[in-house]
Amino acid sequence: MSGAIEAKLAELGITLPEAAAPAANYVPYVKSGNQLFISGQIPQTAAGEKVIGKLGDTMETEAGQEAAKLCAISLIAQMKAATGDLDKVARVVKLVGFVNSTLEFGDQPAVINGASNFMVDVFGDKGRHARSAVSAASLPFGVAVEVEAIVELED
């Protein structure tokens, strides 16, 4: 039986992918006390294709927002893998978003809103979080965005 958060995802038409395995020598998440630290997630489509692009060059803000939303979906998949039950998420504490962008591009916060807005859509007030949104000259595999998270879990 699915919980309230999984019901909300279904209502939004979202099917969680399998939690991605690490691409190098790290773990996808670490639990420490009631905190869950989730490694950076990159944007991948349901078909597993990476969303490649550079904001301000080959990609517009709206497409970057969609890429950030895909990162958020992957973060939630990692939450599910870590807890077995998304209703155990007490709060999304912080997101850190990296935007593959040109020197002139300044809308990194708008791009990462794609992830932030989705967290609030899914978790409601528990999805409101502190956040950083920074530019990066490049990201792994040439992806447009990468987002990591800190989450508080129920005791």
Q: Is residue 23 part of a domain?
A: no
Token pair of 98 as six digits:
């990296």
Please, are residues 38 and 93 in contact by the beta-carbon 8 Å criterion? no
CATH number of the domain within which 100 lies: 3.30.1330.40
Q: Is residue 17 part of a domain?
A: no
Q: What is the mean pLDDT of the chain?
A: 96
Query: Which residues span the domain enclosing 118?
Result: 4-8+29-153
* pLDDT exceeds cutoff 60 at 1: no
DSSP letter, residue 140: G
Q: Is residue 20 part of a domain?
A: no
Q: Is residue 16 part of a domain?
A: no
Name the pTM for this structure. Answer: 0.97
Q: Is residue 18 part of a domain?
A: no
Kindly report, residue by residue over 19-63, the tens digit of the pLDDT: 999 989 999 999 999 999 999 999 999 899 999 999 999 999 999
User: Considering only CA atoms, which of 155, 111, 151 is closest in space to residue 135?
Assistant: 111
Token pair of 45 as six digits:
């489509």
- How, if at all, do strands 89-100 and 29-32 pair? unpaired
User: Considering only CA atoms, which of 14, 21, 32, 132 is closest in space to residue 76?
Assistant: 14
Q: Return the pLDDT at 23.
A: 85
- Count: domains in the chain: 1
**DSSP states of 60-106:** -HHHHHHHHHHHHHHHHHHHHHHHS-GGGEEEEEEEEEEEEB-TT--
Kindly report, residue by residue over 53-76, the tens digit of the pLDDT: 999 999 999 999 999 999 999 999
Helix axes 108-123, 4-11, angle to 10 degrees: 120
- Quote helix, strand, coil % in the chain, to nearest 5: 35, 30, 35
Q: Is residue 116 part of a domain?
A: yes
What number of H helices and E strands is found in the chain? 3, 5
Q: Is residue 60 part of a domain?
A: yes
